[in-house]
Amino acid sequence: MAASSSKSWNNSTFTNGHQVGSRDSKLLQGQNATLQKKVNGFKKQAQSHHTTLDLLEGEVKAFLIDEDELHTFDDLTKVNPVTTTTVLKCLHARYSADVFYTHAGCTLVAVNPFKHVPCLYSLEVMKEYHVNPQPQELKPHVFILAEQAYRNVQGQVEPVNQSLIVSGESGAGKTWTPRCLMKYYATVAASSSSQKCQDMIERIERRVLESNPVMEAFGNARTLRNNNSSRFGKYIQLQLNRSQQLVGASIQTYLLEKTRVTCQAASVKEFSYILSDHEGATEQERLQWKLPVEAQFCWLPNADQTLEEDCFEVTKDAMLHLGITSRMQRQIFRVNEISTAF
């Protein structure tokens, strides 16, 4: 015997003007329940012999009848009843409408679009969320949480550290979201600076952002579900002064999947940098590293899959901005080539 006491409101429409109104009952399994409905504006009551699960199933069906309205729920706490089915249906409806962010109270749910969405992270959108007095009233976006944390730092008598946790399964967008957050903070922190500080802030901003392709090159790999899957965790700390200017950053990494270097499961790949320098190395670099033109190594499976050769150039350029000279890079890549040859 399980007891349940609840009061719920639901405006989903059935047909012929029938609406679910309110339910206020204390129900034991197998006992009668009183349901109150509105039929064409008039309240009617009906006695029924249902279990708690029967009532919940009826509420779920009633909620899902008006499918055209499901994408309008921008906060999952407004869904009634809150079940796995209703939440997933709302997220699917919003995804189908090209809406990829949804609030869940103080948490933001992001669904990976797996495609390029123009202007979703543009400078204009950043400015819109930064200058709005009430950014939480705008459409759900990762910039809302970014802006709230930014304001919480400066909104106290003494600055208070803020933390944003990005979690999810493989392919959910954990690599992409910190990129957006770092770009947002680098942009808004620079916008509040004087011209004298702009050059220094731009250098810091560039280093902060250029750390991403380097970490991804040496810590990401292709898996069955994700072409750019992070095989490590990272803790990124952006440092602001009392004027809210970006003055530094630190990054700590942990749990690197080192076993991938020597052993990969079927249909997955080695770390990105090992693949990219094989694909993107110039003829001169191949000769210098004694790399065969058609390199085939047992550690580099799935050679039939195309890899963008410009990833190697992006990685080398980012390493330069981080202070890793061309000479140091050659030494790093030479060690890499020697290790893969055995």
Rounded to an integer, what distance in angstroms lies between the CA atom of residue 291 and that of residue 65? 62
Which whole number is the average pLDDT over 1-18? 36
Query: In sequence order, what DSSP letters do the residues of 173-187 get, joined into one string?
Result: STTHHHHHHHHHHHH
C-alpha pair distances (Å), 242 with each of 159, 209, 245, 251: 8, 22, 7, 21
Which whole number is the average pLDDT over 16-40? 40
**172 annotated among ligand-binding-site residues:** yes
**168 annotated among ligand-binding-site residues:** yes
Q: What pLDDT shows up at residue 270? A: 53
Q: What pLDDT shows up at residue 146? A: 95
- Give the start-to-end residue ranges of the domains of the chain: 3-66, 263-342
Q: What pLDDT shows up at residue 105? A: 92
Selection from 5-19, 126-140, 226-240, 241-255 with the highest mean pLDDT: 126-140
Residue 310 pLDDT exceeds 70: no
Among 18-32, 139-153, 252-266, 288-302, the minimum mean pLDDT is found in 18-32
Both structure tokens of 205 = 């901003």
Selection from 75-84, 187-196, 300-309, 330-339 with the highest mean pLDDT: 75-84
Rounded to an integer, what distance in angstroms lies between the CA atom of residue 36 and that of residue 19? 10
pTM for this entry: 0.68
**170 annotated among ligand-binding-site residues:** yes
Selection from 70-79, 119-128, 217-226, 314-323 with the highest mean pLDDT: 119-128
Cα dihedral sign, 69-70-75-76: positive
Rounded to an integer, what distance in angstroms lies between the CA atom of residue 164 and that of residue 142? 10
Among 253-257, 326-330, 337-341, the minimum mean pLDDT is found in 337-341
**What tens digit of pLDDT does each residue of 84-100 get?**
888 898 999 999 999 99
Both structure tokens of 143 = 């910039």
**155 annotated among ligand-binding-site residues:** no
Rounded to an integer, what distance in angstroms lies between the CA atom of residue 71 and that of residue 86? 11
Q: What pLDDT shows up at residue 42? A: 47
Residues 6+ apart with CB under 8 A from 52: 2, 4, 27, 29
Residue 13 pLDDT exceeds 50: no
Which whole number is the average pLDDT over 168-179? 87
**169 annotated among ligand-binding-site residues:** yes
Which whole number is the average pLDDT over 66-79? 87
For residues 321 and 207, the answer to whether their CB atoms sit within 8 Å is yes
